[in-house]
Amino acid sequence: MENVTYIDHPLVQHKISMLRKKTTGTNEFRTLVEEIATLMGYEALRDLPLEDVEVETPIETCMTPMLAGKKLAIVPILRAGLGMVNGVLSLVPSAKIGHIGLYRDEETHEPHEYFCKLPNPIEQRTIVVTDPMLATGGSAVAAIDFIKQHGGKHIKFMCIIAAPEGVKRLHEAHPDVQIYVGHLDRELNENAYICPGLGDAGDRIFGTK
């Protein structure tokens, strides 16, 4: 599928397996999520634009590439997406951070925005949307709908574990969005949990239950 990248790096795969263990505690879980986000971010940001700038080394002056502008926005989908922010931020400390919160209507099951605050202006920025679990794809599609309504154009979506259903739905709704997946799992169960998955990512990151 064009615009969908599976990160098959052994370090990412090892760390995802550690996340899956039900004996992995909150502290370790949080650290692993951050580390995976850094490793995935390294891959997801490989097309950031560069420009040659003049730099004086101890030897001579040269033209050398640096990131063109400070134009990255990280937008976690609340709440689990927050766990990935620092991992990406460690790569691009100048990134601005937006937030998007969604709740699911109990009757229609449709996601609704309850909070959306994005760096302004958003049009020129590369936007990295984070959510560790891409399950049905409903939240990811809705979040990206909202970001596009606010003017967002260059959007990447990073998740640690995805269900095939979620990847398909997100890709069909937003074929222009580059999707980065740490591991593609087997399926969703009847409660929309990813199998084998890792349970509820938000609860495991924040130690709630």
Residues classed as catalytic: 104, 108, 200, 203
Q: Is residue 135 a contact point for ligand URA (CB under 6 A)?
A: yes
Q: Could you give the string, one character per residue 184-203, with x where binding to ligand URA holds by CB under 6 A and - elsewhere?
A: ---------xx--x--xxx-
Residue (142 or 194) nearer to ligand URA, CB: 194
Angstrom distance (rounded) from CA 184 to CA 164? 7
According to CB under 6 A, which residues from 2 to 61 bind ligand URA?
none
In a 10 Å sphere around its CB, with 0-12 CB exposed, 13-18 middle and 19+ buried, how is residue 202 labelled? middle
According to CB under 6 A, which residues from 69 to 88 bind ligand URA?
80
Residue 165 in contact with residue 187, Cβ under 8 Å? yes
Angstrom distance (rounded) from CA 208 to CA 151? 34
Q: How far is the CB of 200 from ligand URA (least distance, A)?
A: 4
Q: Hey, what amino acid is at 85?
A: V
What residues make contact with ligand URA under the rule CB under 6 A?
A: 80, 133, 135, 193-194, 197, 200-202
